A and B are shown apart, each in its own frame.
Chain A
Amino acid sequence: MKLTLKIWRQGGPSADGEMVTYPIEGVSEDMSFLEMLDVLNEELIAKGEEPVAFDSDCREGICGMCGLVINGQAHGPEVTTTCQLHMRSFSDGDEISIEPWRAEAFPVLKDLCVDRTSFDRIIQAGGYISANTGAAPDAAATLVPKDDADRAFMGAECIGCGACVAACPNASGMLFMGAKVTHLGELPQGQPERYARVVSMVDQHDAEGFGGCTNLGECSRACPKGIPLNVISQMNRDLQRAKLGKH
């Protein structure tokens, strides 16, 4: 395949960026999208041009490190992570635009790399169950109905990639937060901190400069793990109960 890539190049956090065009040939349809970028980078190095910086680590769709906006879609045209997207989803002659996640809460560090530590700070605000090592009762002491365990698991599948924010027209991080609130809030172990957790996480989310939710659902459609929009509603419900003191 022969493709025309338009890639966001930005020298550093405070530098101005621009879309730069790179033609590339000999792309195999069995390549992953990131392997295609690897090939481009090897060509750039051979020509003495600085390679394109992009994040990736596990390259098997679970670590959440990779994430590019491809032709305007977070993680590209398939519902998967960028590393699991393969070139057979494109055709010979295509023009492909490649941009970083864009959100003020995810500042660009260089080229296609962004800083997502705002997500970590949201977790710091309450995305955990306070259980010191060694203080745990026997695992079998707490029974968890299978349905609750399954719903908690669904929230726990979030890989923290940030595609929800990238895809949201408001750059909101509600799906990420809703997933964690649902994961922990569905389990008996998560009950003691359930309402305090949601209040402080939402406060942190807003302080980080994420946008508000207008229930458009782009986040869920872009989510490589298919986390449903209803986790946001779940979070709203818990938030209201927390604010009304109804718990």
Chain B
Amino acid sequence: MTETLPATEAPADGLINGLYREGMPIADSVAPSGPIADRWALRQFEAKLVNPANRRKLSVIIVGTGLAGAAAGATLGEAGYQVKSFCYQDSPRRAHSIAAQGGINAAKNYKGDGDSAYRLFYDTVKGGDYRSRESNVYRLAEVSTSIIDQCVAQGVPFAREYGGMLDNRSFGGVQVSRTFYARGQTGQQLLIGAYQALERQIAAGSVQMYSRHEMLELVMVEGVARGIIARDMVTGEIETHLADAVVLATGGYGNVFYLSTNAMGCNVTANWRAHRKGAYFANPCYTQIHPTCIPVSGEYQSKLTLMSESLRNDGRIWVPKRAEDGSKDPREIPEEDRDYYLERIYPAFGNLVPRDIASRAAKNVCDEGRGVGPGGLGVYLDFADSIERLGKSAVESKYGNLFDMYQRITGENPYELPMRIYPAVHYTMGGLWVDYDLQSNIPGLFVAGEANFSDHGANRLGASALMQGLADGYFVLPNTIRNYLAEGPYPKIEENDPAVVEAREQVQQRIDHFLSVNGTRSVDSYHKALGKIMWDKCGMERSEEGLKEAIAEIRELRADFWQNVRVLGSADTINQSLEKAGRVADFIELGELMCVDALHRRESCGGHFRVESQTEDGEALRKDDEFAYVAAWESGGEDGAPILHKEDLVYEFVEMKQRSYK
């Protein structure tokens, strides 16, 4: 358990910046100390065991069936616990982990190039811009090898060499080849592996699956998480599910920006309801923005599509030097009128600078009015030089599928015209605060995968999201949750328990409200408005002024939403507007907290860039003496100010350095 104090006992010294209060610091007290390589083994040893005969009597609810949720469901089911698994999609196989393209890192050192768990740990801490916990990251690196073993045993068809050995590639600018991949569909293959393991447990009766179910409230009894309230999205029935522990594996919240590479249904509701019930939300402002996405083509745009980062190996990024050339046919702009801005500003790394830097540079040139394509929000990624140098067929064999995808979406032929790309929200490093056991500050509430905040710090390295999801699901959570379950079974809760009834009523009231407002604006119009505020003011570049404006605008939007939203239809059938209304309501509240977090963090680190904190050359400037901590936010209630709890980050093994790519 963590040493925390409830909000009421926080120092009552008024509001900081008029926005938040500061509460007592917190610490991750379950993480073992000592040599870093021994910590995980030690924790597994210290965590209490559950006798196989007793596991049948213990129940666990898992929300979400992505890599973390499906892996945890399968593993806990195999162990003999009673698992109930929930997903909003029609099948657990649809979870958005499926869309990950690149690969999964593991310190197997099959290439003999000097890789090790320690090197993967080091790279990840550095890549996270020194804002993650050393113990957690080392554990992630340590179990990474078991993930590959597990997946191969399940039949995940990783790429192979002709000799039958597993193939690896290097990814995300690291110097070793540690990324395992299955063409451009690694996420799909890993998820299907976990999904099949989960289906096997469903067939065995150890996991009960609830698809097309959405968690709308956390059930807390006497300060402990004991279940969830879920809506059957087909019949509209509000169901109560009670258990000894609840696991949220609900993914990231990138859809707060409306447009992102997330799936349409990805949402923060489960996490946000838990936050409102007391769970701390950590580092909400850490957002990863991916530089190579297909730009927005019009107002109707519903989502953004990522193009693999590998394109930057052979494509040259440029914009016209003069804004008025933006509408010209790019082939007619002569060489001397083009600005290859990454090559100009970062001669050492050129077009291969890290994601955050490439993204921000693209934003800067577009802000100068030199962007191309509809709305001036795009830069060229030009393969003309490569095609001339390597030949069209060589380029085609390397990138053919990506070029086809680009052409399908844009209708333009990238062999003839340069591609247009623009950054897009891709991943959120922030999430619910958890300790080393992946337990939130609410006893019995565990959080796994992208939904928690724990391993990536302020920036995530490529091919690490899949690693974390599966590490949490297969290896970490099943070994830590037992320490909590060993104390169970917990007292039986009845469905008419006042706490349960209250949670159910809260859900019902919200639904009734949405259906009765009968305002004038659709849910999507609010979501789009929120997304625009967030993207403009809490996106790639954040300033004190912008964030303050954003907070005011979000508050206005929130008030208007509750009074003026239009949700048609009824609650007893599939009602997609109703589903979205609940999600957008929570996104609006989260958006405000993200801005507050971004405002309070007056430094630039990883995916968080504050204009006030940059070097003379315009690079991110971290302030380790002031901000080397996790910002864990406690909800202030309906309209109360959030309360900040700081968890200091201590680096015993890795030295903190400023990044440079010039």
Contacts and interface: CB of A to CB of B under 8 A. Distances in A.
Direct contact of A and B (CB under 8 A): yes
Contact of A109 (B197, B298, B574): B574
A143 B163 CA distance: 8
Contacts of B90: 55, 65, 113, 115-117
B647 to A, nearest CB: 30
Interface string A1-35: 00000000001110000000000000011111011
Q: Is the interface of A mostly helix, strand, loop or mixed?
A: loop
Contact of A136 (B94, B96, B146, B569): B146
Listed residue (A46, A56, A62) with the most chain B CB atoms within 10 angstroms of its CB: A62
Contacts of A139: 108, 148-149, 151-153, 158, 166
A128 B200 contact: yes
B96 to A, nearest CB: 6
Nearest to B203: A124
Given A128-B196, A139-B166, A189-B152, A38 B524 contact: yes
B160 A146 contact: yes
Interface stretch (A68-76, A92-100, A155-163, A166-174): A155-163
Given A57-B264, A124-B203, A133-B74, A143 B164 contact: yes
Contacts of B298: 28, 30-31
Contact of B302 (A59, A110, A127, A134): A59
Interface string A35-46: 110110010011
Listed residue (A124, A128, A159, A189) with the most chain B CB atoms within 10 angstroms of its CB: A128
B185 interface: yes
A144 B148 contact: no
Contacts of A190: 155
Contact of B157 (A31, A49, A88, A156): A156
Contacts of A160: 91, 93
A125 B566 CA distance: 44
B211 interface: yes
A58 B98 contact: yes
A106 to B, nearest CB: 10
A68 to B, nearest CB: 14
B234 A109 contact: yes
B568 A51 contact: yes
B155 A183 contact: yes
B474 A133 contact: yes
A152 B157 CA distance: 7
B153 A136 contact: yes
A86 B154 contact: no
A30 B410 contact: yes
B161 A34 contact: no
B149 A63 contact: no
Interface string B92-111: 11111011000000001010
A63 B200 contact: no
A34 B264 CA distance: 11
A142 B152 contact: yes
Contacts of B91: 116-117, 119-120, 160
Nearest to A31: B300
B207 to A, nearest CB: 10
Contacts of B577: 45, 51
Contacts of B263: 57-59, 63
B257 to A, nearest CB: 15
B310 to A, nearest CB: 17
Interface bracket on A: 35 or more
A190 B188 CA distance: 19
A133 B408 contact: no
B489 to A, nearest CB: 23
A59 to B, nearest CB: 5
A35 B545 CA distance: 34
B359 interface: no
B575 to A, nearest CB: 8
Contacts of B202: 120, 124
A39 B576 CA distance: 15
A82 B146 CA distance: 37
B116 to A, nearest CB: 16
B199 A120 contact: yes
A38 B152 contact: no
Interface in B530-569: 566, 568-569
B189 interface: yes
Contacts of A156: 157, 182, 189, 192
A57 B153 contact: no
A53 B580 CA distance: 12
A124 B77 CA distance: 14
A59 B155 contact: no
Interface string B142-172: 0000101111111101111111111000000
A203 to B, nearest CB: 13
Contacts of B154: 128-129, 131, 189
Interface in A182-197: 183-184, 187, 189-190
A153 B96 CA distance: 20
A74 to B, nearest CB: 17
B149 A138 contact: yes
A152 B183 CA distance: 13
Contacts of B478: 133
Given A31-B300, A48-B568, A137-B149, A120 B92 contact: yes
A147 to B, nearest CB: 9
B211 A110 contact: no
A50 B303 CA distance: 23
Interface string B392-414: 00000000000000001111000
A128 B264 contact: no
Contact of A124 (B71, B200, B303): B200
Contacts of A213: none
A45 B566 contact: yes
Given A42-B522, A133-B150, A153-B157, A62 B98 contact: yes
A157 B185 contact: yes
B209 interface: yes
Given A57-B264, A139-B152, A149-B157, A88 B411 contact: yes
24 contacts: A13-B234, A28-B298, A30-B297, A30-B411, A45-B566, A57-B264, A62-B98, A64-B93, A84-B409, A110-B234, A117-B90, A120-B199, A120-B202, A133-B75, A133-B475, A139-B108, A140-B110, A140-B165, A153-B157, A153-B189, A156-B192, A160-B91, A183-B157, A187-B155
User: What are the 10 A-B residue pairs with the smallest beta carbon separation, nearest first?
Assistant: A143-B164, A136-B153, A128-B196, A131-B153, A124-B203, A136-B149, A139-B152, A153-B157, A133-B75, A30-B297
Interface of A: 11-13, 28-32, 34-36, 38-39, 42, 45-46, 48-51, 53, 55-60, 62-65, 78, 80, 84, 86, 88, 109-111, 113, 115-117, 119-120, 123-125, 127-140, 142-146, 149, 152-153, 156-157, 159-160, 183-184, 187, 189-190
Given A28-B297, A110-B574, A139-B158, 8 more contacts: A31-B300, A38-B300, A45-B577, A128-B155, A128-B197, A140-B110, A144-B160, A153-B189
